[in-house]
Amino acid sequence: MIRVLVVEDEPIVRRDLVLTTPWEELGCVCLGGAEDGKQALEMIKEQRPDIVITDIRMPGINGLDLIEIVAEMCAVAENGYLCEFIILSGYSDFEYARQAMRSGVQEYLVKPIDDEELSQAVTRARQRIEEHKHEDSLKKKLSGSGESMLMLFREYKLGEQKNANTRYVEKAIEMITSSYIGGITIEEAADKMSISSSYLSRIFKQETGYTFVDYLTYYRIKRATEILRSTNTKIYEVADLVGYTDARYFSQIFRKLTGVTPKEFRDSRQE
């Protein structure tokens, strides 16, 4: 089950979110509520929730500060920890909400909270978490090796002899290179070629040595290194340019495949 923490300094609002939200129906379990950012940070460090629903305006550590602190935790976490945020705010705090969304937060709800909008936001966050956990298997490859995983990635080069399998794989690679920003699944690629996804999955791995998802991920991060080398584009913009709407998750995957964060990678090229 996906674990959720509620952070809200208004006791009535906090109680209602914790006790009346149908967490089990949403595929979640609520860990409880924190009354401010300081208590929330302690609970996050101890319990590692998957989703944090937080108000922006709070005494001490406010919502924006909490998001930034947890983002740093996620970037250096050894076990691939990732936390999705859903921010709660009034209309007058929209500028704060926009700042949070620039940091990778994708869900923003205006008080008073509509139950259906909350359910939809939690569902979207849960789906992203589940997708991230699936792709997290990348870090297990080459475990124990001190080498950058990305350095070992080689883009697929088709040989002179083309059989039916290599033609399908070539088309799949073309789809990845042309659609990596918007994203493409193996099911979509197979459907465009009128073959089964299981068949494409098998021959793709045989020909390239990678699964379709892994190849797409490696390709995206390789493009990101090229952008970081040649431009001063902001990290969240680089993430968007290679197909990641969540800048925090992009940074985490980048670090897994290169051994450094995007900022460290850029800084090392500027020294």
| CA atoms within a 13 Å half-sphere pointing along the CA-CB vector of 60 | 12
83 in Cβ contact with 114 (< 8 Å): no
The pLDDT value given to residue 145: 38
Beta strand pairing call for 84-89 and 51-55: parallel
Q: pTM to 2 decimals? A: 0.53
Would you call the peptide bond into 112 cis, given omega within 30 degrees of 0 as the criterion? Answer: yes
H helix intervals, 112-163: 115-135
Q: Which of 50-64, 158-172, 174-188, 255-269 has the lowest mean pLDDT?
A: 158-172
- The predicted model gives 11-26 an average pLDDT of 95
- For the chain, strand residue ranges (E) read 2-7, 28-34, 51-55, 84-89, 107-110
Residue-wise pLDDT for 165-218, tens only, equals 888 999 999 999 999 999 899 999 999 999 999 999 999 998 888 999 999 999
- Tell me the per-residue pLDDT of 119-142, one tens digit each, with 9 for 90 and over: 999 999 998 888 777 666 444 433
The first and second tokens of residue 57, run together, are 């305006």
The pLDDT score that the predictor gives to residue 104 is: 74
pLDDT digits (tens, 9 = 90+) for 77-129: 766 678 999 999 876 677 777 777 776 788 889 889 999 999 999 999 998 88
